[in-house]
Each structure stands twice: as structure tokens, then as C-alpha cells.
Structure 1
Amino acid sequence: MDTPPEERFDRITRLATYLFGVDIALVSLVDEQRQWFKSRQGLALTQTCRQESFCAHAIQGEGIFEIEDASKDSRFTDNPLVTVSRGIRFYAGVPLNTSSGFRVGTLCIIDTSPRRLDDAQRQALIDLAACAEEEMNRSGLESELSRMRETRSRLAEDEKHQRLLVAALSSLNEISTSSDLSFAEQLQALLALGCRYLQMQIGIVSRIENDLFKVVSILAPQDVTLNAGQCLPLANTYCDMALTAGGFLAIHNAGQEPAQHHPCYTTFGLEAYIGNVVYVDQQLFGTVSFSSLIPRGAAFAETDKLFLKLLSRWIGASLERQRVDTLKNEFVSTISHELRTPLTAVSGGIKLVLGGATGELTDKTQQMLAMALKSSERLGMLINDLLDMEKLLAGQFSFVFQPHLLSALLTTSLQENQPYAIQYGVSLKLLPLPADRLIKIDALRFQQIMTNLLSNAAKFSMPGDEIVIYCDVCDESTRINVKDVGCGVPNEFRSRIFQKFSQADASDCRVKGGTGLGLSISKALTEKMGGDIGFTSREGEGSTFHVTFPWVKEENREIF
């Protein structure tokens, strides 16, 4: 298609107009979108869209496709080529076949007046079409059509790669936003995703320090002896070539490329490789790469390269966040420990003064000292929460797991938190519970969770409201619910509610009190004890926060 006119085809179409006395004769080629005219007589157009094409109908069958009067044929009555002034009325076309049997176009004759071919004319048109077909196949036009099919095949392959890339990026997003995976687990999941997408055997995130290549995370078959933490000379890795090449390198068959002399090929036998550099805080950190002991059949696609570059950017950004989080946690830990001792002394001193240790106080002085004590207690609560969070993150939180009666635990929760609720003018109500059901938890940590849930419910309720504690019981577990009829959780805040320092509004901590750590700590404690935590809420109607724990089996019913 789209080749210059050739006399051998023009000779046939001229002969057709003379033999049949028609206005137009064409040699047409049809693809998915259009019909294009290799030769044309009596027509200025070089192509039309396939949707309007008569020839697209002709190539659907064998033999002559003949329309005596298109204006009376329901298939063509509204066709623009028919409805225009002096539009098509008569059409007769014979399919042209490649040597491999594909119908790719027609030899056709067209007239603006209705007519009908007799048998002799039909045979003559078939004979002329045979001549055009022979010329087409002999002239190498078939090779042009073959290239067209290859182009279509490439486009289809590109479309396939695009679909796979979209799916891979969707998976990358799911992994990177998962709150259930640690950073190390995310790296492993991303390396597994990369190996699947790129069809490679080995995935590595490395750190480059001076002339050393250090493995940060690796996913590989069992017979690969390289492990996380292991170091290699940088010069013995393809990553060295990637750095020299500007940061990105793709090798689909090392045995047929300059890489065949590289130590990574001669020592480890890595036949295929694709890698890209990783930057953290605009400084070179290392690389993310995928390799295989088997050569690839084809070079890496552009979508493969795009995927790897996006992956390396995500890993770099995540490493930067991890670095900042580590610095922040170290800072918070240091400040918390440094403040705790002097704050204890301040609080103790205020209590002594309020208790009369320095003599009688005026009402104004008592009021000011009471405010100072309340502020110091609030600061102490923040420090305790920060230290709890630090211990949880460091895995230093100790738990004593024992079976406890659920009814006794929740009765204690009610009694301990009722005074706090009264401060806000709300009441706590415990609905009837199973009398003999046990859960295996750390009782102290369980009460810490319940205190967080009940204090939040009290703070965000109106005076006179009632907070209800009840259980949903099933065969394997129980869900403990804390239901309030307060203001509810804003929609835009729900995805962040269990994150550290999260509050629906910056003013909440001033108006309602709190550190923004309670729910984050509760989530961590619940999960450490083998449970789940969640909530449902409607703005303006209230919320129900719930924790779920499995029952203790009958054979383990020793009660503490």
C-alpha cells in the first residue's frame, strides 16, 4: 500500500473501462481502516475509508460481487458514495488473493448508471482480475503486504505490552501503598513483580559504596548463592556497565554482545540483564536490576525500560522516606527520654505546692497551678505515647499472653473509663456478654486499646450521649464494638485515621486533646496480639470502632 502507480496495473484498469464501457475501474487494496487504490481510472480519490467501501464487501466472499443499482440495495442506500450527485449505482468486483490465499483487495468496475453484466462479461472480469492478481504476486506487492501485516503485528504486540505495563504499574501501586507490608517485604514483592513482568529469574536491589556492590534485597532461585548483605567487586557486575552507560543498561543476549567479555558473563553466566540506577536525596544509592541465566529471544521493549525506570524511582523515594522516618524516630526518641525526667520533677513539684507544702495558696494561684499540672500531665501522656510507639517500632514491646474472661475484661474497661466519660457528660453502657468465653491476650495492653477507643468516643460525643460496648460473637472469634453517636469520622480523613499523629483537624488536638497516636498504637497492639481493628462511620451520626480476637479453644481454658 501507498506505493507509486505502476503501468502494468494501469494497463489492466484502462482495458477494463474499455471492455465494459464504465466510468471507473480500480485495483484496490483493503486494510482494517481504509481501501487504497493501486491503480485507478476515472476517479481522483486515492483512498476511502473502509466503512464506505464496496470492496470491503467484495473480499468477504469468492467470485464476483455485483450490485446492479446501489440506490436500491439496503446495504448502500445511505452510503455517501451513493447519495452524492452522480453517485455509484453499479459495482462489480472480483477479490484479489495473495499466493498464500489472503484476500487483500479487488479488481472492480463502477458506473453511475444501473446495469447488469451478462455471463460473458462476468467471465471477462474474472479473467482480468486473474491478470491483476498474477501481476500483484509477481511484482513483489505481496512483500509490501507482508510488511503491512508485520506492522499490524508489531502494533498488536505494542498494545499487548501496554496492557501488561498498565497491569504491572497497578500491581506496583498496590504493593507500594500496602500498609500490611514492611519496607523489606515491599522490596521482595516488587522484585517478584519485576521478575514476572520482565520474565527474568533474578531481581536485586543493590547499594554501591566506593567500588563495592552490596546486595540490599534479592529474589532468586535456590541454586543462586548470592544473599542479602553480601558484597561483590563493582567491576564484576553489569551494574558497573550501567553506570558507565549513564545509569541504564539492557542486555538481551550477552553471548552475542560486547558483554560476552565482561566478568559478570564469564564468571556468573548471566545471559540477560536490565538495570537502572537508584537515587536517594539526589545522591547515587545503587541499582535495581533483573537478570537471567537464559538469553531472551528478543530485545527489551520500550515498555520494559519504562517499567524499570518507574520502579527505580519508587524505590529511591521509599528509601528516602525510610531515611527521614529513621531520623525522625531517633529525634523523637531522644527528645522523649530527655524530657521525661524533668517533666516528672515539674509535675511532682506542682502537686506538692497544690497539696499545701509551701503554705496556703490564693484561689488564683491554685487555678494557675491546676492548669499547669493539667498541661504537664498532657505532655507526659504525649511522651508516654511516643515511647510506646518507639518500642513497638523497635520490636521491644513485651507482651504477657494469657487466657482471660471477656466479660471480666470489658467490665474492667467500663469501670476504669467511666470517670473519664463523666467529664464529658456522657455515659458508658455494657450490653450482656457471653459469660464463659475466653480470649488470649495481654490484659494490660488490651485495656490500653479499650481506653483509647472509649476516650475517643467520649471526646467526640455530646453531653447526654451514651456510648455502648457490645460484642458480635461467632464460632471462632468475637468482635468487640465501641459505638457512639457523635460527629463521625470525616470521609477525607478515614484513610489516614490509623497513621501516626493523625487527627481530622489541626484544631482537634487543642479542642479535644490527644496526641494523634492513640489509634496508631491501638492498631499496632491489636495486630501484635493476633487481632484486627477497624471502624464504620457516618458523618453527623457517629462511629463504631471494633477489635476482633479469636476465642481460646476448650483445651486451653486455664483462666487468669
Structure 2
Amino acid sequence: MKSAAIANNELARLTALDEYNILDTLAEQAYDQLTELASSVCGTPVALISLIDEKRQWFKSHHGLDAQETPREIAFCSHAIHHDELFEIPDSREDERFHDNPLVTGPTQVIFYAGAPLVTPSGLRLGTLCVIDHKPSYLTALQKRQLLIIAQQVVTQLELRKAGQIQHDLLAQSRSLEQSLLLTKSLEAKNKELEQFVYTVSHDLKSPLVTINGFTSMLAKELSAYTTEKQKHRFQRILENLTHMGDLLTNLLALSRVMKAEISKAPIDLTTLIEQNWQRLMTGYKELEVELVLTKPLHAIWANQTLLSQCIENLLSNAIRYRSAEQDLTLKIYTEELEDSVSLFISDNGIGIAKSDQKRAFNVFEQINPGKGTGIGLSLVKATMGKHNGSVSLVSELGQGSCFELRFPKT
């Protein structure tokens, strides 16, 4: 048996792996779906997402295998990360590097192996998406191409995880700084750096995500005559997840722009702005029975029109998304003027939010109703109101609808 050599960039590779904060985490459906798809596409009983740590290979997902990790010195993936393209072993018993490897001679019976490298945007190979069979085999050109595409989706998931963690850390720092007058120049520089990183990652991931979506759609069509209903369903799940990731990136970009922006304000004609947003939004819900009640005249608000428009669109979209199934949707919008502020109220008769959930509803990535939205919309509203030195509050009860108040200072 021959163990793989250690690459010259090993320290940088391990550092990059550590930055994803992925090792020893619990199983996640997004990764398990990808190994299940890889197993199905390649026709193998085993598919793994293997990450090569300093002394071990650890499996983020292990379809068809009970083990969670193995020593690095016997790992096939330790060899695979030395290659830019797919690394394939048709019959390990005939290969001098592996013929007496415990993974070959023991109960695991790794006879056929193919590993697609997991390459970060900076070019570092963290591990592989690999498929394994207990008998000699090989992949067709189409299967190799598919495995490489699915490996890119694994890396996209890792990048989204990293971006989300950084955004969460940034917002946590921002909340702490808002409560403290001890803001220093070094923290300001760090926040700007983190904001720029999240913006850059979100922006740069958009293009490969579109490419992956296109390739997956194309593969689904090309293979439609040869795939089972179960496999077609898996392709559909992948496409749905890609659409969700696209929405998530769009909202992350919007949130990053709000956090970074220096805003300009002007008097806003609320009636015109709301009616324009409503008409644009309703083009996607032409069959929906809904009543919009504007209590006129609406007071003018001193705000940034672009950011205020995003806030209104998010709240109106949420009202539609979380409407009650038992009655037609009614939206009421009105304003109240005080000596030093003007408040905009948006009220609905939807499903409502429990009091225990209302505080965390404004946290980034929080989804009170799983499976709907991206968990960023209300965070965007809160960040926008912070930019205006204003506030957002919520009054709601389950089954009784929700009322959001956006309070803007007059100056």
C-alpha cells in the first residue's frame, strides 16, 4: 500500500477547510441529497462527501456506508485531491497503490472508486465527492461529467454556509456596536471587510449557480428518456434547491448593499410608491382574491425611496406568502404622524406569528414557517430602518394576522 504524499500547499488547504467550520457537524439534507443523486447517476451503492483533515478523512455525507471517518493514510481521497480532474480506479486489486489497502481487503471492499475534487474558489482541494462499488467498474463520459457537476454543487453549499456564518457574525457585531459607544476604527475596518466579503461571495456565486442550474436542466432533459420517475424527482429537487439558493443569494446581496450603503433621503409620496409596488407584485398573483385598503391621505415620509420600496415589497410579499387558507386576504395600510416621527402601518389578516417567535423573526436566516422564503426579508427591513435611524415593530397573534409599524424620524 502506498499512502498519498502531502502537497506543498497543505497548510493553506487545512486553513481553508477550517474556515468552513464544517468538520464534525451533523448530517444535513442538502448534502445527503447530493450523495444520493451521485449514487443514482453513477449506479454505485456508495457515494461520499469526503473532507481530508490533517490525520483523517471525514464524511459530511455517507450514502451506503456506515462509517463517519477513516485514517487519512488509507484514504483513496488523499490521492484524489492531487488531481484537478476526476480520479478513477477501475479495479483497486490490480493497482499497486491500493491492492493491499485495508479498505480493499477488509469488509468495506472498495474495488471501484471515482472521486471528483471539491475545489474552492481559490483553487484549494478540500476533499472529494466520490462513488464506490464492490466490484470492478468504470464511469461513462456522461457520468464523469455529471459527477463533476454535482461536486460543484457541494462546493456551492459550502460557500453558502460560509457566507451565512460571516453575515451572522457581522450582524451580531453590528447589534453589539449599536448598544455601545466604544466603536473603534479597527472594528469599523473589520466590519467593512466582512461586508465586502459577503457581498463578493454572494455576487461571485451567482454566475456558477446559473451555470449549474443550466447544466442540471440540460442533463435532466437529455436523460429524460432513460431515467426512472424516482430519478426525475431527484433532478426536480435539485432544481428547486438551486432556485432557492438563487433567491437566497439575491437577498444576501440586497442585505449587504443596505449594510454598506450611505443613504440619501427625500420626501416620499407613499400612495404612489405603494400602488406601484402592489401592481408589480400582483402580476404574479393574478388569480388571488385580495383587498388592498389605503387610508388616504398617507403622510409623506422622509426616506430613501429605493430602500423604502424594498421594505414595502418585502412586507407585502410576506402578507401574500403567509395568508390564511380560510379567508380572502385583506391588507390595510395607513400612517400616523407624531411630533418628531411618521409611522407607516401595514396590517394583514394572515396566519400571524406567535409571540414567542416575534423577536427572532427579524434575525437573519430565521424562518418561522420552514420551507417558505429565505429568512432574510425581515432582516432587510430591520437593517433599512436602522439606516434611517428609525425602527420596526410587530404586533401579531396566531390566526389573527400581523401589523408592522415602520417609524421614520422627521429629520
TM-score range, shorter chain: 0.3 to 0.5
Bigger Rg, which one: 1
- The TM-score with structure 1 as length reference comes to 0.35
Query: Larger relative CO (CA 8 A, sep 6+): 1 or 2?
Result: 2
TM-score (norm 2): 0.46
